[in-house]
A and B are shown apart, each in its own frame.
Chain A
């Protein structure tokens, strides 16, 4: 990790190597760059959403060495050496949805989709740690993530369904006809999201 002082500014920057979804990103950022912003602006991975920016809403949750962590409460410089997984890295190797993404789609566990990336990363790690969550444990698993649309009932159903799919307990329900079922939000890939533009944070900052 080298240090440099950008010409014309007083703020020193650091060369940081971020391992995200198995891909190495060499980025140059000031020390104050939050991991959430580095993922969005430097790596172009805008599936990670920035909501409250102080660790309350959970929208920016990513996996750091397999564990859910708030990316807005980490500086990018401190993430060097860790394996980061964002919502873009959750799909199966063949590109199909992972069990959590499938379950959110089947159970209508999302509406506007803003909070969804944080739920998907949290639950992906959650059902790995606890493959058979009770209803209470399913609620507890998502208690640190805020959703303003769904009222949470379908999200909790999706957690339980995701665990079922991951265990291979029951056959997957067919995808609803003619409805993308929130596929874009569930994979973090939309036309808008590919545009590396600060305005897509929804905060204009």
Chain B
């Protein structure tokens, strides 16, 4: 349970960090380390060079305005969760963060790090995708924005280039008349979920005009499903049952040591109905 030996770089500037990443084909960024360090200790990961970005200036911001929420690469989950502005502008970010591991892990782990770690069992990649957010990255080619749609290419694999550092995540604000909800079920408090579902529901003149749901821990990449047609404008029992079936048709639940595929499918259906109902209620309060 000890990591293999690695070279260590502690850049003082973003340019130095990019340069260090480019200097070795097997370099890896260390931010909070709450996913990376256990993987290294279990020797599931053995990077040759660790580029520790914890001492870069100006990356720990958490800001919110009318357009949405911006989170710097060194903002810890706990800082984002504590922000009343974030909760007001995009409540789904706060709802999901409360389910990320335990408070002690959230004190060190970073939201941007979790997003680019691209674990389908994690909350924030799915939420970024459901909300249509993006990540800004800086590499030798300069700064660019990667939308959530283009970010997740395979299990635990993002579309960042080898020498790029994610510097900021953006979550769009919740529009007026829309509501959100998040629910997950895990074996123990703070564990990875066996299934988690979030929903964004838009209501106009009492009718549902848009309903989307995001799924974590069900398939091997975070998955978003549009359920607007399945609901057919309302959120009654029959509509919810149709939506749950429609969602399942687009998911491929997998079996692992924690849950069978059949149980995951059951959880996905039950949680779909719950979060659609809760997001619909939330939309009508807004």
Contacts and interface: CB of A to CB of B under 8 A. Distances in A.
Interface stretch (A28-36, A88-96, A172-180): A28-36
Contacts of B78: 67
Given A54-B1, A75-B30, A143-B189, 16 more contacts: A12-B7, A31-B7, A31-B8, A32-B2, A32-B3, A32-B5, A53-B41, A68-B107, A73-B33, A73-B108, A74-B37, A75-B33, A75-B37, A75-B52, A78-B10, A144-B190
A77 B34 CA distance: 16
Interface string B33-50: 110011011100000001
A201 to B, nearest CB: 11
Given A75-B33, A77-B8, A70 B105 contact: yes
16 contacts: A12-B8, A14-B8, A30-B5, A31-B50, A32-B4, A32-B6, A34-B37, A68-B104, A73-B33, A75-B33, A75-B37, A75-B52, A77-B10, A78-B10, A78-B33, A140-B103
B55 interface: yes
Interface in A99-146: 122, 140-141, 143-144
A58 B188 CA distance: 15
B143 interface: no
Contacts of A1: 10
A51 B248 CA distance: 40
Interface residues of B, number: 31
A70 B4 CA distance: 19
Size class of the A contact interface (CB-based, 8 Å): 20 to 34
Interface of B: 1-8, 10, 30, 33-34, 37-38, 40-42, 50, 52, 54-55, 78, 101-105, 107-108, 189-190
Nearest to A31: B8
Contacts of B55: 81
A69 interface: yes
A48 interface: no
B59 to A, nearest CB: 15
A143 B5 CA distance: 33
| Main SS at interface, chain B | loop
A61 interface: yes
Nearest to A1: B10
A1 B54 CA distance: 15
Contact of A11 (B2, B5, B34): B5
A141 B105 CA distance: 12
Nearest to A139: B189
Contacts of A141: 103
A70 B5 contact: no
Contacts of A68: 103-104, 107
Contact of B102 (A64, A75, A77, A143): A143
Nearest to B108: A69
Given A32-B3, A72-B41, A77 B108 contact: no
A77 B51 CA distance: 12
Contact of B33 (A74, A81, A140, A203): A74
B108 A70 contact: yes
Contacts of A122: 104
A55 interface: yes
A54 B191 CA distance: 13
Which of B7, B38, B55 has most A Cβ within 10 Å? B38
A73 B38 contact: yes
Interface in A161-186: none
Interface string A18-40: 00000000000011101001000
Contacts of B50: 31, 75
Nearest to B188: A143
